[in-house]
């Protein structure tokens, strides 16, 4: 996963643009902590600053002051097995036949192998293993035969199969793209003469900007000195239909997005709270205190506590300053990693029957260590409730870490998983209730990791067609 942010001042003023991009990706840090970068356009001259690490470690005041320009794209990136090395750090810059281009993307291109080979056969040179280079290479080629960037991007979208959100900066435009399924979120905001594009609208709140709307699935939104225009992947259907047919990743609501964000008209916090209320109906339990697995389990835990009429408390705290712990090879070291990451408030849980609500269970290893940790610190019983159904299918769209993993829910019963993690009871929300918790959502959702319905296709399917 990645956080994308773009900003353009339509009066060509450069004051504060780099700082806006910085605060934009700072607000999106939860979407990726491996690397970050900002590319800026100063009247056609592009500059980029990017590196490995957290946003606040990469940029300081001096660096930001050197980044002058009226338009910027920024990126914060999570770890990926597909895209590795410093060449994978975004934004990606190229000099094309039609000028400088910078791009931030959050994508999984399923037919990447086929596209890369075709492009190589046409003479393209690649420096990295990233999807960004494929997209930019296709775009540059298509731009030669089209009248404008937007139609070149439309042609590119027709060649790509996969899921993506993209922010692209040309020498006079800022362009945002959401894939035809709308699986990745992307929204439009405004402050005075400045337009912004962001993976989540929480960045607009931080910048005191107005959230205008989410991009529609398959929309290419283009912003320049004349304002905002749109082009659509499928213009044969109405906006309502396009939105209704969208399939945003349901995990955005479960754990990816920040609780204060809205995606496709639904509050992340409210939907998480409602999953807790639904869990209290579907899987009530006798307990003295309800706690959340920080941070994404907290809102659901509050809903669960309210639904049961049991006190909600803080029993587990997350140490926000723990980066990567490279000490996970033995059982003892893995337990130490959990202890470094979480702290138990002994006085809140000692001698009590504790219900802990977490967003999901993929492998179950962290949950197992947390349960043991709670019991070691005096919890009499630990009941686990999960705000998502059993993860039975791997995500091939780059969201949760289920790919190549032995998913216990595929082969084990709920009772066997309960036994494996050492809980006193275990309950998963049903997919039906999870969907109902997204009250007010204007589009549909991808839920392939629960039901195996890979709406945008799979890599396996792609490799068979190559
Ligand atoms: Fe999201 Fe699951 Fe679909 Fe992946 S498979 S995009 S995690 S809902």
Please count the other Cβ atoms lying within 10 Å of the Cβ belonging to residue 444. Answer: 20
Write down the pLDDT at residue 441. Answer: 87
CA 283 to ligand 1 centroid distance, Å: 24
Lowest mean pLDDT among 41-45, 226-230, 377-381, 404-408: 404-408
What are the pLDDT digits (tens) for 406-463? 899 999 999 999 999 999 999 999 999 999 999 888 889 999 999 999 998 887 666 6
Q: Closest ligand 1 atom to the C-alpha of 250?
A: 8
Say if residue 157 is in the same domain as residue 23: yes
Local structure of 445: helix, strand or coil: strand
Q: What CATH number does residue 61 fall under?
A: 3.60.20.10
Same domain, 23 and 167: yes
The reply to whether ligand 1 has any atom less than 6 angstroms from the CB of 446 is yes
Neighbours of 5 (CB within 10 A): 29
User: What pLDDT shows up at residue 461?
Assistant: 65
Torsion angles phi and psi, residue 392, rounded to 5: -105, -15
Residue in 124, 29, 15, 31 with CA at minimum distance from that of residue 64:
15
The dihedral region occupied by 117, where left means phi > 0, alpha psi between -120 and 50, and beta the remainder, is alpha
Q: Which helix (H) or strand (E) holds 132?
A: helix 131-144
Which atom of ligand 1 has the smallest separation from the CA of 183? Answer: 6
Cα–Cα distance for residue pair 342/358, rounded to 1 Å:
14
pLDDT for 333 beyond 60: yes
Give yes or no for residue 447 CB within 6 A of ligand 1.
yes
pLDDT band at 296 (very low <50, low <70, confident <90, very high): confident
- Decide: helix, strand or coil at residue 320: coil
Residues 199 and 298 in one domain: no
Secondary structure class of 258 (helix, strand, coil): coil
Instruction: Give the confidence band of 87 by pLDDT, cuts at 50, 70, 90.
Output: confident
Query: In a mutational test of the pocket of ligand 1, which residue from 447, 455, 460 has the highest number of ligand atoms less than 8 Å from its CB?
Result: 447
Query: Is 39 a member of any domain?
Result: yes
Rounded CA-CA distance 173/39 in Å is: 13
pLDDT confidence tier of residue 378, bands split at 50, 70 and 90: very high
- CATH assignment of the domain containing 285: 3.40.50.2020
Ligand 1 contact, 251 CB (< 6 A): yes
Query: In this model, does residue 365 exceed pLDDT 90?
Result: no
Tell me the average pLDDT across 19-30: 97
Tell whether ligand 1 has an atom less than 6 A from the beta carbon of residue 397.
Answer: yes
| Ligand 1 lined by 391 (C-beta under 6 Å) | no
Within the chain, how many helices (H) and strands (E) appear?
A: 19, 23
Substitution candidate for ligand 1 out of 251, 391, 438 with most atoms within 8 A of CB: 251
| 260 touches 269 (CB < 8 A) | yes
pLDDT at position 328: 52
Residue 403 in this model has a pLDDT that exceeds 70: no
The DSSP symbol for 209 reads P
The response to whether residue 249 sits with its C-beta less than 6 Å from ligand 1 reads yes
Residue nearest (by alpha carbon) to ligand 1 atom 8: 447
Is 251 part of a structural domain of the chain? no
**167-171, 196-200, 347-351, 453-457, range with the lowest pLDDT:** 453-457
Run of H or E residues at 269: helix 268-282
Mean pLDDT of the chain: 92
Atom of ligand 1 nearest to the CA of 391: 2
The sign one gets for the Cα dihedral 292, 295, 297, 298 is positive
**What is the rounded distance in angstroms from the CA atom of residue 425 to the CA atom of residue 129?**
44
Same domain membership, residue 198 and residue 105: yes
Residue of 185, 182, 193 lying closest to 223 (CA atoms): 193
Assess if residue 148 is contained within a domain: yes
Other CB atoms within 10 A of residue 226 CB: 9
Ligand 1 test: best mutation among 399, 455, 459, most atoms within 8 Å of CB? 399
Q: Give the DSSP H/E element, type plus range, for residue 134.
A: helix 131-144
Q: Indicate whether 210 and 329 sit together in one domain.
A: no
| 74/132 same-domain check | yes
Q: Is residue 423 a part of any domain in this protein?
A: yes
Q: Which class for 205: exposed (0-12), middle (13-18), buried (19 or more C-beta within 10 A)?
A: middle
* Mean pLDDT, range 51-63, rounded to an integer: 95
pLDDT value, residue 388: 97
Whose Cα sits closest to atom 1 in ligand 1? 249
Give dist(CA 357, CA 276) in Å, integer: 8
User: Are 307 and 164 in the same domain?
Assistant: no
User: Does ligand 1 have an atom closer than 6 angstroms to the CB of 395?
Assistant: yes
Query: Is there a domain that residue 201 lies in?
Result: yes
Question: Residues 6 or more apart from 227 whose CB is under 8 A from it?
Answer: 10
Give the residue whose CA is nearest to atom 6 of ligand 1. Answer: 249
Which ligand 1 atom sits closest to the C-alpha of 399? 7
In 3D space, the residue among 92, 101, 179 whose CA is nearest the CA of residue 128 turns out to be: 92
Question: How many residues appear in the chain?
Answer: 466
Cβ of residue 250 lying under 6 Å from some atom of ligand 1: yes
The Cα 418–Cα 428 span in angstroms is: 11
Task: Specify the number of domains making up the chain.
Answer: 2
287 and 235 in one domain? Answer: no
Rounded to the nearest angstrom, the distance between the alpha carbon of 192 and the centre of ligand 1 is 36
SS3 content of the chain, % helix, strand, coil (to 5): 35, 25, 40
CA pair distance 423, 431, nearest whole angstrom: 22
State residue 200's pLDDT score. 98
| 407 Cα to the center of ligand 1, angstroms | 14
Residue 465 is assigned to a structural domain of this protein: no
Ligand 1: centre distance to CA 40 (Å): 32
What percent of the chain is modeled with pLDDT above 90? 80
The SS3 assignment for 74 reads strand
Q: By residue range, what is the domain housing residue 189?
A: 3-245
The protein residue whose alpha carbon is closest to atom 2 in ligand 1 is 449
Residue 237 sits in the same domain as residue 287: no
Looking at the domain assignment, is residue 140 inside a domain? yes
Distance (angstroms) between ligand 1 centre and the Cα of 121 equals 33
170 within domain boundaries: yes
What pLDDT sits at residue 82? 64
- With b for 16 or more beta-carbon neighbours within 10 A and e for fewer, the 318-349 pattern comes to eeeeeeeeeeeeeeeebbebbbebbebeeebb
Is the pLDDT assigned to residue 96 strictly greater than 80? yes
- Contact, 379 vs 350, CB < 8 A? yes
Closest CA to 9 of 192, 168, 177: 192
**How far is ligand 1, taken at its centre, from the CA of residue 305, in Å?**
28
- Distance between alpha carbon 249 and the CA centroid of its chain, in Å? 9
Q: Is any ligand 1 atom within 6 A of the Cβ of residue 344?
A: no
State whether the beta carbon of 448 lies less than 6 angstroms from ligand 1.
yes
Whether 234 and 110 share a structural domain: yes
- How many A from CA of 391 to the centre of ligand 1? 10
Q: Which of 108, 400, 453 for a ligand 1 pocket mutation test, highest count of atoms within 8 Å of Cβ?
A: 400
Structure tokens given for 458: 């799979």
Residue 209 sits in the same domain as residue 340 = no
The upper half-sphere exposure of residue 171, i.e. CA atoms within 13 Å in the direction of its Cβ, equals 11
Q: Is the pLDDT of residue 325 over 60?
A: no
The verdict on 211 and 347 lying in the same domain is: no
249 alpha carbon – ligand 1 mean position (Å): 5
Confidence of residue 224 (pLDDT cuts 50, 70, 90): very high
**pLDDT tens-digit series, residues 140-187:** 999 999 999 999 999 999 999 999 999 999 999 999 999 999 999 999
């Amino acid at each position: 996963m990645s956080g994308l942010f773009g900003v353009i001042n339509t009066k060509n003023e450069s004051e504060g643009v780099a700082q806006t991009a910085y605060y934009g990706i700072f607000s999106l840090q939860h979407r990726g902590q491996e690397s970050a970068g900002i590319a800026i356009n100063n009247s056609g001259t592009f500059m980029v600053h990017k590196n490995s690490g957290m946003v606040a470690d990469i940029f300081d005041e001096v660096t930001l002051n050197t980044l002058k320009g009226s338009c910027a794209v920024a990126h914060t990136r999570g770890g990926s097995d597909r895209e590795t090395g410093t060449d994978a750090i975004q934004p990606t810059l190229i000099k094309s036949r039609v000028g400088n281009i910078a791009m931030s993307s959050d994508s999984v291109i399923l037919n990447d192998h086929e596209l890369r080979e075709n492009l190589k056969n046409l003479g393209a040179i690649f420096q990295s293993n990233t999807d960004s280079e494929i997209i930019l290479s296709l775009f540059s080629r298509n731009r030669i035969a089209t009248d404008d960037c937007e139609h070149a991007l439309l042609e590119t979208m027709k060649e790509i199969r996969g899921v993506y959100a993209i922010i692209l900066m040309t020498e006079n435009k800022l362009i945002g793209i959401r894939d035809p399924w709308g699986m990745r979120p992307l929204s439009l905001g405004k402050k005075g003469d400045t337009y912004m594009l962001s993976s989540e609208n929480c960045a607009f709140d931080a910048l005191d900007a107005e959230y205008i709307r989410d991009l529609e699935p398959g929309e290419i939104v283009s912003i320049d000195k004349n304002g905002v225009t749109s082009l659509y992947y499928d213009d044969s259907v109405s906006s309502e239909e396009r939105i209704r047919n969208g399939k945003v990743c349901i995990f955005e609501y479960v754990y990816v997005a920040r609780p204060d964000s809205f995606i496709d008209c639904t509050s992340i916090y409210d939907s998480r709270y409602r999953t807790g209320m639904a869990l209290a109906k579907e899987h009530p339990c006798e307990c003295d205190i309800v706690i959340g697995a920080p941070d994404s389990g907290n809102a659901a835990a509050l809903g669960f506590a309210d639904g049961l009429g049991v006190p909600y408390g803080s029993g587990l705290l997350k140490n926000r300053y723990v980066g990567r712990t490279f000490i996970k090879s033995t059982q003892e070291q893995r337990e130490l990693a959990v202890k470094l990451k979480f702290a138990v408030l002994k006085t809140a849980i000692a001698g009590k029957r504790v219900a802990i609500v977490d967003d999901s269970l993929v492998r179950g290893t962290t949950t197992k260590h947390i349960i043991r940790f709670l019991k070691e610190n005096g919890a009499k019983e630990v009941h686990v409730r999960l705000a998502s159904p059993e993860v039975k299918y791997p995500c091939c769209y780059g969201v949760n870490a289920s790919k190549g993993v032995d998913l216990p829910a595929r082969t084990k019963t709920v009772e066997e998983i309960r036994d494996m993690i050492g809980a006193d009871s275990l309950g998963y929300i049903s997919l039906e209730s999870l969907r109902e918790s997204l009250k007010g959502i204007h589009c549909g959702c991808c839920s392939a990791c629960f039901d195996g319905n890979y709406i945008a296709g799979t890599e396996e399917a792609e490799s068979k067609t190559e």
